[in-house]
Amino acid sequence: MEIKKIRIGQTITDYYFGASLSQLKNVADKKHSIILTDEHVFEACKSKLKGWNTIVIKAGEEYKIQQTADTVIDSLIEMEADRKTTLIGLGGGVITDLAGYVGAIYMRGIRTGFIPTSLLAMVDASIGGKNGVDVEVYKNLVGTIRQPSFLFFDTSLLQTLPTAEWQNGFAEIIKHAAIKDAAMFRSLKEHDAAWYQKKKSELAALVRRNALLKTKVVQLDETEQGDRKLLNFGHTLGHALENQYELSHGQAVSIGMTYAAHLSEALLGFKQATALVKLIDQYGLPTYADFDRTKVFDVLKHDKKRERSNLHYILLQKIGKGVVHTLPLTQVKQLIEQI
Amino acid sequence: MEIKKIRIGQTITDYYFGASLSQLKNVADKKHSIILTDEHVFEACKSKLKGWNTIVIKAGEEYKIQQTADTVIDSLIEMEADRKTTLIGLGGGVITDLAGYVGAIYMRGIRTGFIPTSLLAMVDASIGGKNGVDVEVYKNLVGTIRQPSFLFFDTSLLQTLPTAEWQNGFAEIIKHAAIKDAAMFRSLKEHDAAWYQKKKSELAALVRRNALLKTKVVQLDETEQGDRKLLNFGHTLGHALENQYELSHGQAVSIGMTYAAHLSEALLGFKQATALVKLIDQYGLPTYADFDRTKVFDVLKHDKKRERSNLHYILLQKIGKGVVHTLPLTQVKQLIEQI
């Protein structure tokens, strides 16, 4: 187990790489910790959770809402959680977002730690302190930005992950490569998801590389004034699609990246759109899609990245070099209609 | 109108003293602002609110709950509030606490400003960035600490305040004097609430002095690691009483201060308990009370100030000198039973 102490803003977060869930007792005190998890993860990790206090909620993005936060808070009261309690989120992005949010508002903030169990949560969702819940069709409309006290990476937890979950993770990994890491883009081209699933140490190294890549972006810009916006590559359109259609986050982001690549082509002369679309496809993710432009742009109007009638849209100059562009909503709509 | 820029933590808050509601347009942009207020305040200020976007909720502490925050968030979505919007709380402590909380979590934080309309809100509740909602009997169990961008003091708004509201304010003013300001304690002894109600400039000066006193305490200790705890003088027992009995905040805190004065006598040899109790009484506030010890201590067990079985209890060495003591819950209970 490797420990890395990383400062983001005022908080120091301990990153435990190459960890195993059975070592959690060395990181958090059983008596003063409460683990928040979902039914699926609880079932899968049951034997390792003996003796830990747990709050188990239903699994699924549809439960990432205020009402669930309310019931978690009720459970914390019942369990007499106080300012010395650590709330540990064990699960995918829904769980770490919820745990981070409840931990930020319960008693105006208690200690939190995350144990991501999905590839997406390991490389993206659990990192950077953004937390929250969805409101109606608007993702993460309510939440805070607050760093956890620790992040605990046990890649053996990924073994039972369904295919769709692997895809979700790889969508964000491809995103990282596209905006910041051309070398990783090249090595991703040489393999596919099935290869990484078999190669334990290569997978652990990929997770570590992506977790640290995202961390570095967040470190330099915790409150998303500049560079952190790059992480929204594929997400502006992606979020709008995700809530209008039955798409996973990874699928929606992949379609978003595809259209953003073509916008980059039209606006910045980006030349590697075909290569990016090919890589997305290679990892089993969708690219082009038929969607109701009017409906989706109606959701975009409410996107958090919107300021008045402009969108902060993330484009690529080349692979490894993302840039933030401010575009009128109407122009984005026009260009996307042409693709 | 006097403007004072005050830094607390990472935020600079503009304090507007001697302001008038009609000058608000010079401080906030009508087009990008939304005023959150309650039915009573809206009715009283209607003519001055023409042309402002408003969200009006029902008046009363019983609406300081998550459900109200949820409906305010729904209204913000409908009004297309975005990251450039300022949410302005116009009202008493319930409104500024709610506006601060919703402003902290909507889109992970938008700009907020407070216009306190009660004496309590002006000298206490609107200052220091603590916000939140009540959960069941637990006051402010959920919330954040986040400073507003501006505070706007128009003491003419106090003219229509009912007597009970004046009392609430004076309870906190007496608290400030007791823990930090012996000179103010002496001048309070020479007057009463009715006198301040008549003397406009003395009232404005008293509000300013108390607002700045609280601000200074918060400035030195935003996250309540040390000195800020002093502001809880009278509040530990006070909060427990407030939710078990039909008491106003000021009444509950006054009873809390009375018992804390006697605890200070027993534990620290504090000699001015009688003088403090007399001043509380002089401002029309209650002192000794018959309450169900078992029920109230059951609530105390869940108090945010509790760490395991100890309470951080605020005591007085002398008037103007409050101190934090860590006391076992059982000892507090025993001593209070003897008073």
pLDDT of residue A97: 98
Q: Average pLDDT, stretch B273-284?
A: 97
* CB-nearest partner of B144 from A108, A130, A302: A108
pLDDT of residue B16: 98
Half-sphere exposure of residue A68: CA atoms within 13 angstroms, side-chain side: 24
* CA gyration radius, chain A: 19
Alpha-carbon separation of residue B199 from A129, B193, B203, B222, B223 (angstroms): 50, 10, 6, 33, 36
pLDDT of residue A137: 81
- What is the C-alpha to C-alpha distance for residues B263 and B270, in angstroms, rounded to an integer? 9
Q: Could you tell me which residues come within 8 angstroms of residue A312 by beta carbon, excluding any fewer than 6 positions away? A: A229, A232, A236, A305, A306, A324, A325, A326
Give A99 to chain B, closest Cα distance, Å. Answer: 14
- Which chain B residues are Cβ-neighbours of A229 within 8 angstroms? none
Of B236, B206, B251, nearest to B326 (Cα)?
Answer: B236
Length of chain A: 339
Is residue B224 flagged as an active site residue? Answer: yes
* CB-nearest partner of B109 from A77, A135, A144: A144
> CB–CB of A143 and B302 under 8 A?
no
**H helix or E strand, kind and range, residue A273:** helix A273-282
Alpha-carbon separation of residue A243 from A119, A163, A296 (angstroms): 21, 21, 9
Of A335, A333, A207, A205, nearest to A268 (Cα)?
Answer: A335
Given a cut of 90, is residue B222 above it in pLDDT? no
Give A97 to chain B, closest Cα distance, Å. Answer: 12
pLDDT of residue A306: 59
- The residues of A whose Cβ lies within 8 A of any Cβ of B are 66, 70, 73-74, 77, 80, 82-84, 104-109, 130, 132, 135-136, 138, 140-145, 301-302, 304, 306-308
Closest chain A residue by Cα to residue B65: A70
Of A211, A214, A209, nearest to A224 (Cα)?
Answer: A214
Give B73 to chain A, closest Cα distance, Å. Answer: 8
- What is the C-alpha to C-alpha distance for residues B30 and B34, in angstroms, rounded to an integer? 8
| Residue A5 β-bridge partners | A14
> CB–CB of B107 and A304 under 8 A?
yes
- φ, ψ for residue A296 (rounded to 5)? -65, -40
Token pair in block for residue B57: 């909720």
DSSP annotation of A41: H
Given a cut of 70, is residue B303 above it in pLDDT? no
- What is the C-alpha to C-alpha distance for residues B146 and B114, in angstroms, rounded to an integer? 12
Low-confidence ranges of chain A (pLDDT < 50): none
Given a cut of 90, is residue B294 above it in pLDDT? no
> CB–CB of B144 and A70 under 8 A?
no
Yes or no: domain A2-161 corresponds to CATH 3.40.309.10: no
Q: Average pLDDT, stretch B78-89?
A: 96
Q: Average pLDDT, stretch B124-136?
A: 96
* CB-nearest partner of A109 from B144, B302, B307: B144
* CB-nearest partner of B108 from A138, A143, A308: A143
Of B252, B255, B258, nearest to B272 (Cα)?
Answer: B258
- φ, ψ for residue B60 (rounded to 5)? 130, 145
pLDDT of residue B138: 86
pLDDT of residue B306: 59
Is residue B139 flagged as an active site residue? Answer: no
Residues of A belonging to the active site? 108, 130, 172, 214, 224, 228, 232, 235, 239, 249
- Which chain A residues are Cβ-neighbours of B145 within 8 angstroms? 108-109
User: pLDDT tens-digit profile of B188-218?
Assistant: 999 999 999 999 999 999 999 999 999 999 9
Give A117 to chain B, closest Cα distance, Å. Answer: 25
> CB–CB of A142 and B105 under 8 A?
yes
Q: Which CATH architecture has domain B164-338?
A: Up-down Bundle (1.20)
Taken in order A285, A286, A287, A293, the sign of the CA dihedral is: negative
DSSP symbols for B295-320: HHHHHHTT-TTEETTEEEEEEEEETT
Is residue A33 a contact partner of residue A24, using CB atoms and an 8 Å limit?
A: no
Token pair in block for residue B152: 């706007």
Of A46, A111, A115, nearest to A82 (Cα)?
Answer: A111
- What is the C-alpha to C-alpha distance for residues A295 and A306, in angstroms, rounded to an integer? 16
Report domain extents, chain B. 2-161, 164-338
Is residue B202 flagged as an active site residue? Answer: no
* CB-nearest partner of B307 from A66, A82, A145: A82
- φ, ψ for residue B117 (rounded to 5)? -115, -5
CB–CB contacts below 8 A, A to B: 82
User: Which one is catalytic: B131, B175, B176, B224?
Assistant: B224
- What ipTM did this prediction achieve? 0.89
Residue with tokens 């009970």: B164
- Which chain B residues are Cβ-neighbours of A107 within 8 angstroms? 141-142, 304
pLDDT of residue A305: 58
Q: Average pLDDT, stretch B2-12?
A: 95
pLDDT of residue A295: 86
- What is the C-alpha to C-alpha distance for residues B220 and B18, in angstroms, rounded to an integer? 25
Mean pLDDT rounded to a whole number for chain B: 94
Given a cut of 70, is residue B110 above it in pLDDT? yes
pLDDT of residue B305: 58
Edge-to-edge strand list for the sheet holding B2-8: B2-8, B11-17, B150-152, B111-116, B86-91, B33-38, B53-57
Is residue B176 flagged as an active site residue? Answer: no
Q: Average pLDDT, stretch B63-88?
A: 97
Of B89, B29, B22, B94, nearest to B54 (Cα)?
Answer: B89
